[in-house]
Amino acid sequence: MTAKDQHSTVWRGPVTDQELSSLHAAAFDHPEELEPWTERLERYSLGWVTVRRDERLVGFCNIITDGGHHAFLLDVIVQPGHQGTGIGKELVHRAIEECRSSAVDWLHVDFEADLGPFYMTEGLFRRSTAGILKV
């Protein structure tokens, strides 16, 4: 790994509403709108994982919980210019590691069909049926 490639992966790393809103807009290709991320994270999350390169937020994922045995992996986000470099995989592996050291027994994830190979490789997750409704 070169100095240019070095990054830091942190559990519950500090983030601002602005930088996370910018990352989300870039990764999901939508207009940037300032969202109250830090309030949501503190209120609903078991934790989150951040990845920074040169102090710039380039990766993020969130793990919310029901307060019991179930957690849900949400918003696995990697800055478009850093996609395909292993950051997403690192985010998911760290999230799983942190869930295993908590009271959580089940980690759920849903994803678009084209992302199936990403989540289903290495036996990380197994297929299940689920339903979803946009309200």
Give the pLDDT confidence of 95-107 residue by residue, as tens digits: 999 999 999 999 9
> With 80 as the cut, is the pLDDT of residue 2 above it?
no
Query: Which pair of structure tokens corresponds to residue 127?
Result: 């297929």
Residue-number span of the structural domain to which 26 is assigned: 3-123
The rounded distance, in Å, linking the Cα atoms of 1 and 132 is 41
In a domain, 129, yes or no: no
In a domain, 10, yes or no: yes
Give the pLDDT confidence of 73-93 residue by residue, as tens digits: 999 999 999 999 999 999 999
Percent of the chain with pLDDT over 90: 73
Instruction: Give 13's pLDDT tier (boundaries 50, 70, 90).
Output: very high
Instruction: Give 5's pLDDT tier (boundaries 50, 70, 90).
Output: low
In a domain, 34, yes or no: yes
Residue found by looking up tokens 């289903």 in the block = 120
CATH of the domain at 72: 3.40.630.30
In a domain, 133, yes or no: no
Q: How many domains does the chain have?
A: 1
The residues, any chain, with a CB within 8 Å of residue 2's CB and separated by 6 or more, are none
In a domain, 85, yes or no: yes
In a domain, 134, yes or no: no
The rounded distance, in Å, linking the Cα atoms of 71 and 83 is 25
Higher-pLDDT residue of 128 and 2 is 128
Instruction: Give 58's pLDDT tier (boundaries 50, 70, 90).
Output: very high
CA angle 43, 44, 45 (to 5 degrees): 110
In a domain, 106, yes or no: yes
The rounded distance, in Å, linking the Cα atoms of 51 and 61 is 9
Classify each residue of 88-124 as buried b or exposed e, where b means 16 or more C-beta atoms within 10 Å of its C-beta. Answer: bebbbebbbebbeeeebeebebeeeeeeeeebeeeee
